[in-house]
Amino acid sequence: MNNGQLIRAIGKSGVNASAVGLGTWAIGGWMWGGTDENQSIAAIQASLDAGVSLIDTAPAYGLGRSEEIVGRALKGRRDKAIIATKCGLVWHTQKGQHFFDQDGKPVHRYLGRDAIFHEIDESLKRLGTDYIDLYITHWQDPTTPIEETVRALEDLRSAGKIRAIGASNLSQNELKAYVATGSLDAIQERFSMIDREIETDLLPVTREQGVSTLSYSSLALGLLAGTIDPHRVFSGDDQRKDNPRFSTSNLLKAKQFAEAIQPVAEKHQASVAQAVIAWTLAQPGVTFALCGARNPEQALENSRAGTIRLDEQDLAALDAAIAVKLTNMDR
């Protein structure tokens, strides 16, 4: 039972998942000011109960912590979930290209066969499963040919360790290289009402090739929900602390936008955030919307968006509000 959730296919893999997915970057704590493990587990389980089957995670989210929490949450419920996790950000080797340091450890972008085979086994252990539904290259590695990376992923698929192949944070040329292999099922990219670059470079390719798109940051790190106090001060390692998007003036604009689309939300007995997520899922080429949640209340709020069906009048009203209220935001 999917509780009325919109269900969509992941490319041509034969794997289907809820159009609204739970993103677990925040659950790993890193760059989000820590995490509450019990609340995180409850959020994942609440998502499943609401019919949200797609659970997206990555080793880099807390250096394995997010995957471990997801694994604990899914114990005894693995069959209810479609797990997406990633490879290509590594700290067990210094091959590839240095990307950043986390908890004092250098993290490299590396998608060589040796690392992918190491990473899949580590992820399977942390997640407490013997297969991953969608395995995604997290960030691209300029030191390894894409064809070599895809051959390794195809071997994992043949071995039954993964069911579908994805790639994230791509240039148009990288996407075309993946598509040329014939093995790509999905991409995962930043997309929201104020982050629409992929509409011109990536989505035309994916639509033509039957490749699914998972959007992340659909609410622009919470900005588009219109619920953040314009005078809020972000602290610690919260990535929004020094982000110009979260200036007082931008937060005020976000609040005005939320007020402008309130009638559409009310028509569907929905919140502004739910209406924004539903709009995201209605965009041509956008197949799934990943939404973060750190407690059951947030998880249930996000899940409701997957049951909303916006009509042409709703979409026209939302597009008009975007054009008037969001085009002059600081980026």
Amino acid at 313: Q
- Helices 113-127 and 65-73, packing angle to 10 deg: 40
Choosing from 61, 110, 135, 216, the catalytic residue is 61
Dihedral (CA of 19, 206, 195, 319) sign:
negative
61 is catalytic: yes
Q: What is the DSSP letter of 10?
A: -
Whole-number Å distance between alpha carbons of 88 and 313? 42
For residue 83, give the nearest of 191, 214, 207, 211 by alpha carbon. 214
Listed in sequence order, the DSSP H helices in the chain are 37-49, 65-73, 113-127, 146-158, 172-181, 198-201, 203-209, 248-267, 272-281, 296-304, 312-325
- Helices 272-281 and 296-304, packing angle to 10 deg: 50
Contact between residue 54 and residue 136 where contact means Cβ atoms under 8 Å apart: no
* HSE-up of residue 155 (Cα within 13 Å, Cβ side): 11
Q: Which residues are catalytic?
A: 61
